[in-house]
Structure 1
């Protein structure tokens, strides 16, 4: 018989063993919580700074793309002015050879249109250059903020890495023990345990009855309910806070 086939399925594990496993799991998770508490808000601060930096980088990239578009506009307008000047020169030459006033006036109108085109291009070039100057100023300010945030991120990451390194071995050991502790507990119960931990402030999902009260919310647990808890025939939760009541402290003291 293989080790896998010999293993007891979580559903077949006695309730007492499941409760003992849950108590162990709670103890391990509380130690892990303390390790993570030492890190404080550093993980969130690092994540927030990374998001902020990414936002600034996107902004700079957008400005660069807009400036490229404006430079393309300037280039196109300069070419339009050059083309207009060439046409004006051409029309000037044609005016020298007109045969009547009608042709002269028609060419004069074309020259006027090209001069207007040059004026419009000059205006568009100035507007585009102004926008480029504005966006370059925005880029400069954004890059300044970006440099500051990168320095902040380096500092925060350094602090976090130091704290993580100090507890890395202990945390790894606790995680290994935690994985082992979950084996006798079926997924449904683990899901409930995780949900309860997420719903309470101190992370205690499994507690003992102490001095006739729930070890989590401190509300009174009636004698009959304590007797049911001691019997370990089923999983019992606190009627007030929903925590799992694993045992009565006086019985195991």
Structure 2
């Protein structure tokens, strides 16, 4: 993480590796709140920010919501989703770069899905409309989509999806974004439309499977020194504070 989360994100990933999903939700929650309060040493969260570092705080609250759902703690998931919704809406008064309020609206829809709340489809439609309306003011949608706010908004759907694809990259850049960056509004609106179709089903399957994968960090296939004692894979993922199995997100062991 590039923000001051006090190590909670890595601790949450360690908890995911141990299949301790409520503990993961707790650590994601603590990390998210800390980032929203003080994202970086030189950054007041209630001042305009072209990069949108507070997105990493919202992302941790979103991951916490999914973790609580997977843990069977639906009440806590609802509470975290409502908290995330409120925070995302509040920051709409702060982040004023073209497209940023649309990205926050995208987060609002994500929280509705993750928390099992009503109104997700309408929220995604609202986000898509905001992206379309902001298009003329966006010079480079590709550059905007690689800022911390936008990358954070894409992180959780990718994390949930990889748990259902043996740890591989199940959602790519071209899946989330439109095909024509010369039409910035449509290019970015595709994010909301894609999630409207895919994110609800991905979350429900994660809940049914009782499994939330670790996020993908630095990876290596056919590692010479580590092997997963659970599934036998030698494909590894450096995430959290250890070396995890790329396929099943459990801790690996030295050969």
Question: Normalising by structure 1, what TM-score?
Answer: 0.22
More helix by percentage: 1
Give me the TM-score of the superposition, normalised by structure 2. 0.22
Structure ranking higher on relative contact order (CA contacts 8 Å, 6+ apart): 1
Q: Which of 1 and 2 has greater Rg?
A: 1
